[in-house]
Amino acid sequence: MDIATLKRELDGLKIEDNEKIVQQKSRDFYWYSPVLKRQLDHISGDLIVSPKNEVEVVRVLAACHRLGIPVTPRGTGTGNYGQAMPLSGGVVLSLAEMNEIVSIASGRVVAGPGAIIADIDRATRTHSGQELRLHPSTYNTASIGGFIAGGSGGVGSINFGGLRDFGNVLRLRVVTMEAGPRILDLTGEDLHKVTHAYGTNGIITEVEMPLTAAYDWIDVIVGFDTFMGAARYGNALACQDGLLTKLITPIAAPVPQDYFKRHQRFFRPGQSICLVMVAPHALDAFLAFTRREGGEVVFNAATEEDKKGLPPAFELAWNHTTLRALRVDPSITYLQSLYPFPNQLALVERMDAMFPGEVFSHLEFVRFDGNITCFGLPLVKFTTEERLDEIIRLHEENGCPIFNPHRYTLEEGGMKQTDEIQLAFKREADPQGLLNPGKMIAWEDSSYDYHSSKTFLFKGLQRAG
Ligand SMILES: Cc1cc2nc3c(=O)[nH]c(=O)nc-3n(C[C@H](O)[C@H](O)[C@H](O)COP(=O)(O)OP(=O)(O)OC[C@H]3O[C@@H](n4cnc5c(N)ncnc54)[C@H](O)[C@@H]3O)c2cc1C
């Protein structure tokens, strides 16, 4: 890899080649998984390049294409499957400085890929009382481009579904990895080519996202004697069409007591909880509904006097639940599961009972193709990789698909099948396979059997290791 020539060709651009900093910026939250930690700990790029605008992105891609140097895009590196880690070395392309909020109009915002999600919301709220429809729990740190390329959904998915659902991204401007990089404006069906593709088939240089009315969401925590009490309540609340909520998260005891350090004083021993974000105008009706359902309000941000130092409820939810647990007990890891509609509660009950003391239930209610159902992000007391695989197998045998967070490839972390649209676009937009190598199995090995129960091993990674 001719890094010296590349540096000369990129003269005038912001480049970082200090080994320590390069290694630090070659990492994300891969260490969430003991499996990825073992596999990816040694990974580092050769150079960090931080373009300030699209013209500079085109320059980097053209030079890297000419020299055959891999390019791995990076937002702020909060992905937790090693998505932004350069498995074949080369350039880590940091989009963080392309963070301009370009324009805001009724129902839409245009921004650079590096804009931090919370900064976009601050601007749209001030401009016209609007906010993004959904965001990851890394609201305060993640970039919008990284969310679109690496995330799937989050806070707000209870109303709007997932990131890849029609209408949740309006337009993406994408630069291809060719001798003469092309600049494409993708809309409608074409958006599926690059959303959640881990940056393997194009660099997003501008995003246009839909907006919805902004509220000063109120955090409420409702306590229950049993986890299934919290789960049934969460399901019933999600089905209340008149109550505007943004987050409904049942979590089993003893997770809140053991890991939510700042909120601990609100929970009784053995109490399971449901975290809720509710719109201010819906609060009275929500409290009436909660009373009727037998829930005990243990925390209400609207009336609580001592809120000093408390994180927002969404920073206890989605992948933040695992982060809080890991900070207390490094042996904790997690899974991502789906409990398909209409049997979600029966499946939750079965899986919750299956691994006492080893797996602790955590649900996120979402609207999925028009129906209310839930994803699971259960915490797992990690013992061995074999046992983790067995827990995954038992979920799948019982009808709960697992999106395996212990794999770095798109397919193994997703639906375990080739995404033909993304693959076809990669052939067109990155014919040399230089964008984020090793993350799309369909590109690396077209005959790979996703159901072989083996882990895909990227050949380049074996060489690096
Ligand atoms: C504590 C915690 C909580 C989380 N909660 C959620 C959650 O609620 N929902 C959720 O979906 N995810 C969640 N995640 C995962 C992650 O935070 C999100 O996916 C996040 O939006 C990633 O943004 P980022 O800027 O950090 O992207 P990065 O990690 O930097 O990149 C993510 C992927 O996108 C690619 N990429 C980045 N920028 C571009 C670009 N401009 N063009 C093309 N490709 C690009 C990268 O190569 C990488 O593959 C969580 C992670 C953590 C650690």
Residue pLDDT, tens place only, 384-424: 999 999 999 999 999 999 998 999 999 888 877 888 999 99
Tracing tokens 């050949």 back to the chain, one arrives at 459
Question: Are 165 and 189 within 8 A, CB to CB?
Answer: no
Q: Is the pLDDT of residue 463 over 70?
A: no
Q: What is the side-by-side order of every strand in the sheet holding 359-360?
A: 332-334, 379-381, 359-360
Give me the pLDDT at residue 465, please.
40
Residue located nearest, by CA, to atom 3 of ligand 1? 319
Ligand 1 within 6 A of 176 CB?
no
* List of domains in the chain: 3-94 (3.30.43.10), 101-214 (3.30.465.10), 218-403 (3.40.462.10)
Query: Model confidence at 449, in pLDDT bands (50, 70, 90)?
Result: confident
CA angle 202, 117, 149 (to 5 degrees): 25
Report the C-alpha gap between 190 and 212 in whole angstroms. 23
Report the C-alpha gap between 229 and 73 in whole angstroms. 43
Give me the pLDDT at residue 459, please.
76
Ligand 1 within 6 A of 112 CB?
no
Give me the pLDDT at residue 414, please.
80
Q: Is the pLDDT of residue 462 over 90?
A: no
Q: Is the pLDDT of residue 464 over 80?
A: no
Q: Work out the mean pLDDT of the chain and round it to a whole number.
A: 95
Report the C-alpha gap between 297 and 287 in whole angstroms. 8
Q: Is the pLDDT of residue 89 over 50?
A: yes
Task: Please identify, by atom number, the ligand 1 atom nearest to the C-alpha of residue 202.
Answer: 43
**pTM recorded for the entire structure:** 0.96
Question: Are 33 and 381 within 8 A, CB to CB?
Answer: no
Give me the pLDDT at residue 42, please.
93
Ligand 1 within 6 A of 88 CB?
no
Q: How far apart are the two ends of the chain, measured CA to CA in Å?
A: 17
Q: Is the pLDDT of residue 294 over 60?
A: yes
Distance of CA 172 to the CA centre of its chain: 18
CA of 74 to the centre of ligand 1 (A): 9
